Amino acid sequence: MCVSKDNEDGQDSHQQGPREACGVVAVYGVDNAALTLYNGLFALQHRGQEGAGMVVSDGKILHTCKGMGLVSEVFTGDFAEHLPGRIGIGHVRYSTTGASKTVNVQPFLAECRDGMWAIAHNGNLVNAGELRDRYQKQGAIFQTTTDSEILLHQLADPSYFGQRDRIRAALAELCGSFAFVIARPHCVYAARDPWGIRPLSLGRLGKGHVVASETCALQQIGAEYVRDVNPGELIKLDENGVKSLRFADVPVGGYGQCVFEQIYFARPNSHVFGQSVYMTRMAIGRTLAQEQPCDADVVVPIPDSGVLAALGFSHASGVPFELGFIRNHYVGRTFIMPTPQSRRSSIDLKLAVVPEAVAGRRVVVVDDSIIRGNTIQKRIEALRCAGAREVHVRIACPPTRHPCYFGIDFPEANDLVAAGRTEEQICALCGADSVGYLSLDGLKSTLTGAEHYCYGCFTGRYVCGTEHVVCKHALERSGLDQLEERHHRYGVMMQ
């Protein structure tokens, strides 16, 4: 999979860190669904910048608009006038399964025997390959190379039609992480996987309702937070309000909320899994300072992801906080730059050292994680070039030694710098004076309900089966590339 702050080929976009696999929003009964979805997706932009889309119901027909790029690039001009209605779903994409191309941008829309359905998905279905194979043997034709499309085929599957609730039957067959939003002409649904790996929250907006990957989207829309969608729960939003249904029991091994949402992915003004991200990151920084103290003159964050942990570290240690790196917000998306060289130099342009903050000083650099190790190496070099006397690295999570199969774009284990290495070896490789990680117990001490979290990328123990894992490009077929040619941003895509 392609990315992180440590990305060798430079496919680093706005964020620096492991990548999230999308964000979803659903609205029911709101005044202008298209504009409400736009605001919600805008707030979730950090979860995916490759593509964005929405589907809005006019009460009879589902209309869609989607394309590659940022929310503000995809939805332009009077787009909302083409999407009238009070019901809809939206999606921002970062690909973890399926290539980065227009045909894979969600929501996906289909006309089934009983009318139109649209779906949007955050997560990764580890049994997608197996299910896809089953449908292809029956003659099904897939339009995309994503794992998410499976759900549409299940919903269209005649064998489910006799069942009173075929959505629940379909969801119960899926393994892996998912936060799904589903649109029909008269209602929307939202569902969260039985392990609760990805977050999903429900809010109220006037007489209507909103569901979103993070509460920051509810805040942006002006909706009031009601509660999280529970793991294994399917909710239906229609004229009767909110109806809660279960499609799965609590898993035998318990829940597995992704701890990286707290460490890195979620926006600090969100609450995920019932906990303030801002407060969690501050607590992580304080715990890190207690566990990995350092005799230093300044604490410097790697922006933006290390800022709160560095602040917490500074508060607990008494070492002054300084902005030793300044981020350039105008570099643009490096993944669209034509050559690896131009992408690499663009990454170098993103963070500039402030010599006045670090020259002649012993510096503690705080970051959220180290993935491949080459980016932190460059940052250490830059600090030394600017005159830092010592450079100590402190990391706000345990060593990342295992891949993630649930929607976070980590490299294979061989590419993870911490895999098979001690902290001393990592320190030598990065060129730091010392490297210190937060312990797993230290991380757990900052979490409410720590037993309900997944720590798989630290421990190698995952919450659900990974035997049928699908890698990012496993579902690619060359013929599908041709489909992309037929999809134009406001031509074919506006239906």
Q: Which residues bind ligand SF4 (CB under 6 A)?
A: 197, 258-260, 404, 406, 408, 454-457
- Selected catalytic residue, list 2, 22, 454, 464: 22
Q: Whole-number minimum distance, CB 406 to ligand SF4, in Å?
A: 4
Looking at beta carbons only, is 203 or 456 nearer to ligand SF4? 456
Per the CB < 8 A criterion, the answer to whether 94 and 19 are in contact is yes
Looking at beta carbons only, is 333 or 401 nearer to ligand SF4? 401
Q: Whole-number minimum distance, CB 124 to ligand SF4, in Å?
A: 9
Q: Whole-number minimum distance, CB 456 to ligand SF4, in Å?
A: 3
385 among known catalytic residues: no
Looking at beta carbons only, is 15 or 317 nearer to ligand SF4? 15
Per the CB < 8 A criterion, the answer to whether 21 and 409 are in contact is yes
Looking at beta carbons only, is 440 or 493 nearer to ligand SF4? 440
Q: Whole-number minimum distance, CB 412 to ligand SF4, in Å?
A: 13
CA dist., res. 309 & res. 4, Å (int): 19
Sign of the CA dihedral with 153 first, then 156, 161, and 167 last: positive
Looking at beta carbons only, is 152 or 175 nearer to ligand SF4? 175
Per the CB < 8 A criterion, the answer to whether 193 and 230 are in contact is no
Q: Whole-number minimum distance, CB 259 to ligand SF4, in Å?
A: 5
Positions annotated as catalytic residues are 22
